[in-house]
């Protein structure tokens, strides 16, 4: 899994029938130091992530293992909203600390 930040929404009316009622979010990829990797992925939201939230997303066939995405033609899914992480003993990111 990789870290990401929800930076947008993608709208598509004309799509494979299996994709109805799924939300496509635009995710900016983050490195382990919480900096942008200047790379983006469109992922299905499986956890109710909102704009600006820091998330974990999984790619490949893992993207079809959540309850919402089972059997859907999706190759990326947001499967967790991140509370915090640490790197070599230092807290890199903490949800509450953002926006304070």
Contact residues: a copy of itself, CB under 8 A: 1-3, 7-19, 24, 26, 28, 31-32, 40-43, 46-48, 56, 58-67, 69, 71-77, 79-88, 92
For residue 27, which phi and psi values (nearest 5 degrees)?
A: -120, 125
Q: How far is the CB of 74 from a copy of itself (least distance, A)?
A: 6
Rounded CA-CA distance 77/41 in Å is: 10
- How do beta strands 76-81 and 36-45 pair? parallel
Give the residue with the Cβ less far from a copy of itself, 16 or 98: 16
Distances (CA, A) of 31 to 5, 16, 18: 11, 32, 32
Closest distance of CB 52 from a copy of itself, Å:
9
Shortest Cβ distance from residue 18 to a copy of itself (Å)?
Answer: 7
* Cβ-contact 84, 25 below 8 angstroms: no
Nearer to a copy of itself, 86 or 98 (CB): 86
């Amino acid at each position: 899994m990789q870290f990401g930040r929800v930076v947008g929404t993608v709208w598509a009316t004309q799509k494979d029938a299996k994709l109805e009622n799924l939300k496509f979010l635009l995710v900016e990829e983050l490195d382990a130091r919480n900096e942008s990797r200047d790379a983006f992925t469109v992922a299905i939201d499986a956890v109710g992530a909102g704009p600006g939230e820091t998330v974990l997303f999984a790619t490949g066939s893992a993207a079809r293992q959540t309850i919402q995405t089972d059997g859907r033609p999706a190759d990326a899914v947001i499967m967790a909203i991140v509370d915090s992480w640490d790197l070599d003993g230092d807290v890199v990111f903490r949800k509450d600390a953002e926006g304070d």
